Structure formats: structure tokens, C-alpha cells
Structure 1
Amino acid sequence: MKTIYLNADTIDKTFEQLKTNIGGTILKESNEYILEIRNKFGQGTIQGVVLSGGISYIEFDLKFYDDIIISINTPRKNPIYFAYCSQGSLAHSTGIDGKRTELQSFQTGIISSKPKEENVLYFKKNERLNITLITVQATRSSNKSISTSLKSKLYNTFIKDEKLENFVYVGSQNLKIAEKIQQIHAIRQKGLVRTLLIQGLVNVILALEIQQHADDEKNRNRHLGILTTSEMKIIKQVSEYIEENFDRPLSISFLCSEFGITALKLQEGFKLMHGRTVSTHIKWVRVQKAEEYLKHTDMNISEIVYSIGFSSRSYFSKIFKESFNCSPREYKEAQKVLPISA
């Protein structure tokens, strides 16, 4: 077992301390850091980015070859941590001797603690992990002009100003957050555009975590239907399959048979992850692909209709107009005008 002590107030120093303890190579571009690890401690990456508003985003995507403890202590700051587990599990305690709370796959977690209190994270050996940690430097404010800021609201909600109590919350499973993290992975832009896109998605993840906490508090005494971790993984696999095979005939019965899940669980999972039914999501994916083809290819509308898995041009035009408030032809013509006007 190896214990790593992090006491840095900035992300660059945090990555330097991680490198000192577990080795690896640090790559830096703009305000983004990547620690690539391929040694006796493990294999994978730890990636972090500094965002505006006192927010930072760190993602652990790796496998450790030994049990690893990371003790985080920032005595000059009082952050709130928003955790999400996409794969594997993560345990936490306040102080090295504190009670451990475990975060399982697809669960959310919110952590705040007293000043100078250690937040200890436990990573299991030989377990593939994908853990995201959003850190918000929350502050109390008596200034009315900024008392409604995000940091002030988070401080008042989770830090419990009067008592300064430790706060640890493990929430219900949430597939929508997994989808947003996938969208972060899909960003290919560089520089300022990349940072702005990450900032937007991280803000959405924060909103989803806070909403999850509110929903769990509201539904604490109600018996609600819930998917198992294995079922949640299947929902994620089905969603990825639709994204990659949108041009093929797709039906609920086929997907249920292919992935070994009931229609009821499949629909429940898609409402959790995407906020829509399976059939509606398939149409949504196809229309998004059609929009890409209209914008970036010379394919005519009939070619696009059949390439995305539709058989009716009129039906495609109908649902495209519902999404973009114009016909596919009008959209394609607009793409010819935009470069000229630019």
C-alpha cells in the first residue's frame, strides 16, 4: 500500500506532487495537465484542467497495481468536492482514521469538510478506474451583490457555515453524468475553444450532481425503482451501440435480445441517461448525424436519409424540422451562404 500526501493549493503543484510520488510524465497544454503513468505503480492517465470561477476538474482513468491512498489537505482553502464514478469504485474518509464511505459505478458524491481536515481517497489495486473530481473553492459572502454567486450558494448549502461540520453524501446512480463525461472525452478542439467547451460541460455536471442531491433528499422515504450496477453498464453499452450503428435497423426487441435486458429496464435506463425513450433517442441520434452530413458533406438529402437508417424522406424532413425549425433543404442552402457572409 502506498500513501500520497497532497497539500498543494494549485493544480500545477498538485500534479508535481503526484509525479513525485508515482512517477510518470506530465504533459501541459494551456491550462490543462496530463500525467501519463506506465510504471510499477500503475498504467493510465490523471488529467486536470483549471476553469473559471474557482473550479477545477480532475479525471483518474487508470489501473493501480497496488492499493493507493491519496490524502488531500488544503489548509488555506475550504473546497467542496463533487465526485463521480464512471467505472470501478472509490472509498473516502474524513481523516485517515475516519469512517469510510464507498462510491460505486455511476454514483455521485459530494464532500466538504472542516478547515485543515484531510480528505482521504482509497483506490483499489488491479481495478480499472474512471473517477472524476470537480473541486469548487466555495466561499461565504456577506456582500449582497455577490451573495447569489455559485460559490456562495454552494458554501451555504454544503459547508453548513454555523457548525462547520463535515459533509459526505453518496447519491443515487446517474447515467446523465456519464454521458456528459463522454462528451468531454469527445472534444477535439484545442486552446480557448476546448477550455470553454469543458467549462460548459463541467457546469452541467455540477448542476446534475446538485439536482441529484436535491432529488435524493426529496425521495429519501419513497421506494423508487432502481437499476443495478450491471444493468446501468448495459444501458451505457446500448447507448454506445446506437451511436455507432445508427444507420442499421434498430428496434427495442432487437436491442433487448442483443444485450440481455428487459424492455422495461431499457426504457427506464434511457430515461435516466438521456431523458427520453429508446425510440426517441434513436431518432435524435440520426437527426444529429444528418445535421453533420448536411453541414460537412456534398451528399444530397436522399443520400443522407438512407445513410442514417431512415426509409422515408418526408418523415425525415418532419422530424428534422422539429429539431432545427427548418427543412433539411433550407438548412443545406444556409450552409452555402455562411462561408460567403463570413
Structure 2
Amino acid sequence: MKKLYLNTGGINTIFNDLKDSLNGTLTLENNQYNLTVKSKNANGVISGITLNKQISYIQFDIVFNEDVELSMESFANSPILFTYCFQGNLSHSFGINGERKKIKPNQTGIIRNTSNINSVLYFEGYKHVRFSMICNNTYKAEISENSTLFLDLKKVFNSNSGNYIYVGQQNLKIAEKIKEFNTVPQKGIVKNLLKNRILESILEIELNQHTYGYAKSIKPIVSLANKQMEELKRISTINVLEIFSGAGPVSRNYMLRMFKEKYHLAFNKSYNQKLVS
């Protein structure tokens, strides 16, 4: 069995650790990490992106050439991991000696570990595994752009022991959203905004069904998310600066404020710079 370790850190640290452990080739383009592995350790691709301070997305599409044990360091502000399995399976335990729970195809595993023992993922050798993981950072959720959503997630997916895990049937709406996420045709700023909104809508669905149960309709949430994404797609071919050209010279803050009010979107610092570059 091959043992891998991921230390505390952002997505850059995660991908560099995986690159070194699996002897892969790592590329970075437009905030998108792609790790291609063709070695004695594994064959496949691991990709990921960070869209804001609260949300990252990682996707595994790989065959390990032996059984693998991936130990992830835990800490007080460890993220909530929303894991969606599509092919093969993976298992999880809190610590090496903890109970293992398997996440099978078409199942969801939600994991949060704030204890002093590591979370461990297990993969079977010579079996193709394909799964996606949304990492919801709980640190400073109260001052994030969508603080209500992230604070509610932090409250719901929690346990007194510090070890929270849920495994259950995958929501079909979420599976559709992940397919949409992976096939967004737009480019640049609009593409990242669309991807961010898709992931937020997935988290809203998870929060809704775990707060109120499956019986409560998620149609209003999905409808609102779809409406916002359609509006983004509509303007994706428009030069953002041209939207305000008729008003004459405008300040950067005024332009962003008007864009936010019209399309109900929030931009972080890097997006602001790109919009006015």
C-alpha cells in the first residue's frame, strides 16, 4: 500500500504535494490546476480550481497502480468536503484505526474533521475511480461575500466530537450541476462567475436537503441559480466596458456597483482588476 500525506494549505500546496508523491506533471492556466500522472504510481488526471476564498473544486479521474492511503491533516478550521462519486469507490476513516465508510458510485459523502486526528481516504489499486470534491472553507465565513450560506453550512455540518460524516444517495440535481460545471463553454471572467454560481447552487441544495429533508422542494433555489446563470451567458459576448459606454466616463467603483446591482453578482479583488484592465 502506498501512503500519501496532504499537509495543511491551499489548493496550490495540495497539488504540489500530489505532484511530488505521484511523480506527475502539473500545469496552471487561468487558476485551473491540471496534474497529469503517467508513472509507476498511477495513470490519470487530477484537476482543480479555487473560485473564491470559500470554495475550491477538485476532480479525480485516475487509476492507482496499488492500494493508496491518503492522509489529510486536520485543524480547527478544516473545510467541509462534499464528495460525489461517479465511478469506482473510495473509503474514509477518522484516523488509521477509525471505522471505514465506503462511498460508492452515485453516492455523496460529506466530511468535516476538526479533531486532532487526520482524515484518511482509501483507494483500491488497479480500479478506475472518478469523483468530484467541493471544498467549503469555513474560515472567516462571517465576512465572506455569501456569509449567510457559508455560516449555515458551518452550523449544519458539524458535530460535538469534531468528526462529521454523512454518506447517502447522490442528489440527481447535483449530478446535473456537476456536469454543467465541467462543460461551461464561456471563457475568462464570465466562465469563472458561472462556475462559482454553479458550486454555490450545489451547496445551497445540500444545505436545503439536510436542513429540511428531501421532501422540501428545491425548485426555487435551482430556478434562481439558473436565472442568474442564463443572464451571465447572455452577456458573455458583450464587452463589459461597453455596457456603460453611453454614460461617459465612470469610476471603477461606480461601474462595478452598477454591474452588481443589475446582475446580482459579487466580484473579488482579482475580478475587479480584470474588469477594468
Q: TM-score, normalised by structure 1?
A: 0.58
Across the two proteins, how many residue pairs are aligned to each other?
Answer: 220
State percent identity of aligned pairs.
37
What is aligned with 2:14?
A: 14
What is aligned with 2:157?
A: 158
CA distance in 2, matches of 1:122, 1:95: 12
Give, as a single letter, the amino acid of the residue that structure 1 aligns with 2:184. I
Indicate yes or no: 2:90 matched with 1:90.
yes
Distance 1:97 1:145, change over 3 A: closer
CA distance in 1, matches of 2:118, 2:68: 16
What is aligned with 1:170?
A: 167
Which whole-Å deviations, capped at 9, do the CAs of 1:278-305 have from their partners, x for residues lacking one?
Answer: xxxxxxxxxxxxxxxxxxxxxxxxxxxx
What is aligned with 2:5?
A: 5
Q: Which has the greater radius of gyration?
A: 1
What is aligned with 1:135?
A: 135
Indicate yes or no: 2:23 matched with 1:23.
yes
Which whole-Å deviations, capped at 9, do the CAs of 1:51-74 have from their partners, x for residues lacking one?
Answer: 214111101011112111111114
What is aligned with 1:278?
A: none
Q: Is the 8 A contact 2:94 2:117 kept in 1?
A: yes
Q: 1:168-207, aligned counterparts within 5 Å?
A: 168-207=165-204
Q: Is the 8 A contact 2:42 2:62 kept in 1?
A: yes
Distance 1:102 1:213, change over 3 A: farther
Give, as a single letter, the amino acid of the residue that structure 2 aligns with 1:5. Y
The CA RMSD measured in Å over matched residues stands at 3.0
Indicate yes or no: 2:111 matched with 1:111.
yes
CA distance in 1, matches of 2:120, 2:7: 12
Distance 1:215 1:89, change over 3 A: farther
Q: 1:1-342, aligned counterparts within 5 Å?
A: 1-75=1-75, 77-139=77-139, 149-160=148-159, 163-214=160-211
The residue matched to 1:9 in structure 2 has which SS?
coil
- For structure 2, the residue ranges without an aligned partner over 5 or more in a row are 217-221, 223-277
Return the structure number with greater strand share: 2
Q: Is the 8 A contact 1:140 1:152 kept in 2?
A: no
CA distance in 2, matches of 1:215, 1:153: 13
Give, as a single letter, the amino acid of the residue that structure 2 aligns with 1:210. L
Measure how far apart 1:124 and its partner are.
Answer: 1.3
CA distance in 2, matches of 1:29, 1:190: 12
Q: Is the 8 A contact 1:35 1:45 kept in 2?
A: yes
Measure how far apart 1:164 and its partner are.
Answer: 4.5
Measure how far apart 1:139 and its partner are.
Answer: 4.3
Q: TM-score, normalised by structure 2?
A: 0.70
- Compare relative contact order (CA 8 Å, sep 6+) and give the higher one, 1 or 2: 2
CA distance in 2, matches of 1:39, 1:144: 43
What is aligned with 1:224?
A: none
Which whole-Å deviations, capped at 9, do the CAs of 1:177-208 have from their partners, x for residues lacking one?
Answer: 22222212212333322222221221122223
CA distance in 2, matches of 1:26, 1:147: 31
- For structure 1, the residue ranges without an aligned partner over 5 or more in a row are 220-274, 276-342
Measure how far apart 1:217 and its partner are.
Answer: 7.7
Q: Is the 8 A contact 1:71 1:119 kept in 2?
A: yes
